[in-house]
Amino acid sequence: MRKAKILTTGMYVPDYVVTNDLLAQAMDTSDEWITQRTGIKERRMIPDTYKMLQQLARAPDKEAYLQALYDTGMDGKIDADMSTADLALAATQGALQQANMTPQDLDLIIQTTVVPDYVFPGPACVLADKLGTTSTPTFSLNQGCAGFIYALSLADQYIKTGTYHTILVVGAEILSSIFLYNNRGRDMSVLFADGAGAAIVVPAADDEPSGILSHHLHTDGTLLRKLYAELFGTSTFPPLAKKKIDDDRIRPRMEGRAVFAQAVRRFREVIRECLEANKISIDEVDHFLFHQANVRILDAVADSLNIPASKVPVNIHKYGNTSAASVPILLHESLQEGRIKRGDLCLLAAFGTGFNWGASLLRW
């Protein structure tokens, strides 16, 4: 059976930097509060969200401004300047360029996204349109922050079975567009941001030591209401009933303490599972590439497993929580910075809505 490997990676984040201080001008929060509880100092957001936050910060009546925004759109328009597919395309182009490939070289496209451009078709189809591919099959996943791990495991299986040879895996998110930037929504709106990360997965040579070694995936659906969003879902009829909007049921919800406790627990469990399955110790792993949800989660997991801080790269202070884009962005940056060397053992792990969580082990 063939072994798969990640050939190249790419990432994209919008140019617009949103600091904690800007958020503090829009709602009752502070740089100190956000930094202490999350480790986030700034994040990247699409132009529309950045412009909205600047206008909100200057608005004398912030609630009236937000109401007008939802009633009439941004300056009278509702079409976004940048979509999730635009971010996915930019990250993909970076990965393709590194591989000296074109979109026509792809045998399969897998994209994982929480908030897509459309309800249907899926985001991978929209990316295929932007790439100009006309017969390449696509998969669209929505596994939250664990999406890239799930998508990578799917690509791995298709490579192993010989079904496909060159697979694009993309995690892309524009989360800044779905939150309320006021006191009701601040517990989530200060956390999440926008970005995309991509990887091209191909077969490893028979005598090549590098490659993907294993995946370990889990879901506990009984806890889904600890972190969820109804938005346009069919939990109501019609899905976008005015009463649903008036009752504030389209706003994403999170029970922070429950998410924190579950994340730490599940990270520990799946890391141990991955190590035991591959008969290796923590000391043998060179890099632990964790989903960047909250620096306190990362610290708690590392401390409980005695993982040295030097093995746990962190970029949440720059980008916030980019959900399914988080792990591939961290992987790409770690490669670009020269942190990951040929032959290094890397353990990727993520936890998110669903609750979905998982880990992947690979040798670079």
- Residues that are catalytic: 145, 291, 321
Q: Which residues make Cβ contacts (< 8 Å) with residue 327, sequence separation at least 6?
A: 148, 149, 171, 197, 289, 290, 291, 348, 350
Tokens of 147: 């999406």
Q: Say how far apart CA 293 and CA 302 lie, in whole Å.
A: 14
Q: What are phi and psi of 147, to 5 degrees?
A: -60, -40
Q: Say how far apart CA 95 and CA 170 lie, in whole Å.
A: 10
Query: How much is the CA Rg of the chain, to the nearest whole Å?
Result: 20
Please check whether residue 354 is in contact with residue 342, taking contact to mean a CB–CB distance below 8 angstroms.
Answer: no
Q: Say how far apart CA 297 and CA 266 lie, in whole Å.
A: 11
Q: Say how far apart CA 46 and CA 256 lie, in whole Å.
A: 25
